[in-house]
């Protein structure tokens, strides 16, 4: 009768407060520079050590520049944030992958690729996109600063048990349709609050046929539907991805791990609090037109009109259109763009670079486009060079930047100027998310690549 979520959650319950929260044991805490300083300050004030330092991994990503990382950071706020994390990790005896460290990168890219994230784990980080790690068959969610302090001190957290939802996507994805498009499609149908209060398990043939990296992208965006987290049951795709990676179990321990991981699936008679179904054949390459990730549409469709909308919804919609400089009912195909961003914890993995390169190969970057291609980690960067993807990109007029969160959020040097249009593979398109006044259109690496070589919003299927 148990869901995958139930099995992992129940295995980590320490105590349950009657009519209150659960004390949950945490297997892995990831710390970056933005939400951890106050947590470490709290430990110092109370004279407490980190209980289980071997379970904590620190790395800067939000504030790191994506060029000249071997030089001191110029921005004083970013420099302070990054330096503070270095000091905190040293003072408390924690593993720290600093800038230029070969294991550095975006924490949600590094965790899976180094097999620090494994099936059956509970994982937290002071960052909402911690949901990414659920793709490995783990319970992973973002927490606040006071909760980071709680985990550092006790390796446990107090949490209310969320409700469960299963989203099933059956059928075969069409040409040029990626995991990013599945996520944007779901949000366009369910809205950004459609999964509020739920932990989502993704199931169905279309999900099983996704690669590990596609699943990571999908789970990354769970949070944008309001979900507490997202997860995919581990299977042969998961095991094959983990096998041989740096922190993967080896030898006999591997066999034992596989045996356990194979039990991590929802029982046939498992009951979810909510079930939602979609057909993969209904999904085409997607693009957003508004100021939240749920305002998305198929790339060949037109922006909706306000017909049938309530008064409050109309006001919000019109405000969004004004900010974006779009008209209700218009098509976005052929719209001129200014920036393209490939990267973030959503689409900064090797497969995303392969996809982007496959479309720009033999073509040239459009003159009107400034493109920022940012690997999610130094491991991704090394793989790009090993596969010769860097040569394809250079020949097409693109340059590869150094790893970091980059233009996903306006916390480092990579900001989109006011009024400019950015086709971005990141996860959020709120007003000012990529820089004050920046206009963000969320899309897959293929849609981003098509825009980068044509200079306008283009259906990538025309170029594949």
What are the binding residues for [4Fe-4S] cluster? 345, 405, 408
Pairing label, strands 296-298, 286-288: antiparallel
| 56 SS3 class | strand
DSSP assignment, residue 136? G
Binding site members: 345, 405, 408
Nearest of 320, 321, 325, 288 to residue 426 by alpha carbon: 288
Nearest of 267, 426, 255, 297 to residue 352 by alpha carbon: 426
Q: Which residues of 160-189 are buried (b: 16+ CB within 10 A; e: fewer)?
A: ebbebbbbbbeeebeebbbbbbbbbbbbbe
Q: How far apart are CA 432 and CA 428, in angstroms?
A: 10
Contacts of 325 (CB under 8 A, 6+ apart): 419, 439
Q: How far apart are CA 121 and CA 133, in angstroms?
A: 9
DSSP assignment, residue 336? B
Structure tokens at 79: 């420099």
Q: Is the CB of residue 29 less than 8 Å from the CB of residue 156?
A: no
Pairing label, strands 274-279, 229-231: unpaired
| 457 SS3 class | coil
Nearest of 433, 387, 437, 400 to residue 417 by alpha carbon: 437
Contacts of 255 (CB under 8 A, 6+ apart): none
Structure tokens at 311: 């008064």
Q: How far apart are CA 101 and CA 97, in angstroms?
A: 6
Dump strand ranges (E) for 22-155: 22-25, 28-31, 56-58, 95-96, 122-125, 139-142
């Amino acid at each position: 009768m148990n869901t995958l979520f139930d099995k992992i959650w129940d295995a980590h319950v320490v105590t349950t407060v009657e009519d209150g929260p659960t004390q949950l044991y945490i297997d892995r805490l990831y710390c970056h520079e933005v939400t951890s300083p106050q947590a470490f300050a709290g430990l110092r004030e109370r004279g407490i050590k980190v209980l289980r330092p071997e379970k904590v991994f620190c790395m800067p990503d939000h504030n790191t520049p994506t060029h000249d990382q071997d030089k001191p950071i110029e921005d004083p706020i970013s420099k302070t944030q990054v330096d503070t994390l270095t000091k905190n990790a040293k003072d408390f005896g924690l593993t720290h992958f600093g800038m230029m460290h070969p294991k550095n990168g975006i924490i949600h890219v590094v965790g899976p690729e180094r097999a620090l994230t494994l099936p059956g784990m509970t994982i937290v980080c002071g960052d909402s996109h911690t949901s990414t790690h659920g793709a490995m068959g783990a319970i992973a969610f973002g927490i606040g600063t006071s909760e980071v302090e709680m985990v550092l001190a006790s390796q446990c957290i107090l949490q209310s048990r969320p409700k469960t939802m299963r989203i099933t996507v059956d059928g075969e994805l069409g040409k040029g349709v990626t995991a990013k498009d599945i996520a944007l499609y779901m949000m366009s149908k369910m809205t950004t609050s459609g999964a509020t209060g739920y932990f989502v398990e993704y199931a169905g043939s279309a999900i099983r046929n996704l690669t590990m990296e596609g699943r990571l992208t999908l789970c990354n965006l769970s949070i944008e539907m309001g979900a507490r987290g997202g997860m995919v049951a581990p299977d042969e795709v998961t095991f094959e991805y983990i096998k041989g990676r740096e922190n993967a179990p080896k030898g006999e321990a591997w066999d034992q791990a596989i045996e356990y991981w194979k039990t991590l699936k929802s029982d046939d008679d498992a009951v979810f609090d909510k079930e939602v179904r979609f057909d993969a054949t209904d999904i085409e390459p997607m693009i957003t037109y508004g100021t939240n990730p749920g305002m998305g549409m198929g790339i060949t469709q037109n922006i909706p009109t306000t017909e049938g909308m309530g008064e409050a919804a109309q006001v919000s919609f019109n405000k969004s259109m004004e900010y974006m400089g779009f008209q209700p009912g218009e098509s976005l195909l052929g719209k001129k763009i200014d920036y393209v961003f490939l990267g973030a914890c959503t689409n900064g993995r090797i497969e995303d670079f392969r996809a982007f390169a496959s479309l720009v190969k033999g073509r040239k970057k459009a003159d009107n486009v400034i493109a920022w291609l940012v690997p999610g980690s130094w491991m991704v960067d090394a793989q790009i060079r090993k596969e010769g993807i860097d040569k394809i990109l250079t020949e097409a007029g693109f340059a590869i930047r150094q790893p970091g969160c980059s233009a996903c959020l306006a916390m480092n040097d990579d900001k989109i100027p006011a009024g400019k249009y950015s086709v971005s593979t990141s996860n959020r398109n709120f007003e000012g998310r990529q820089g004050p006044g920046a206009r963000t259109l969320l899309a897959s690496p293929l849609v981003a690549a098509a825009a980068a070589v044509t200079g306008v919003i283009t259906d990538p299927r025309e170029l594949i």
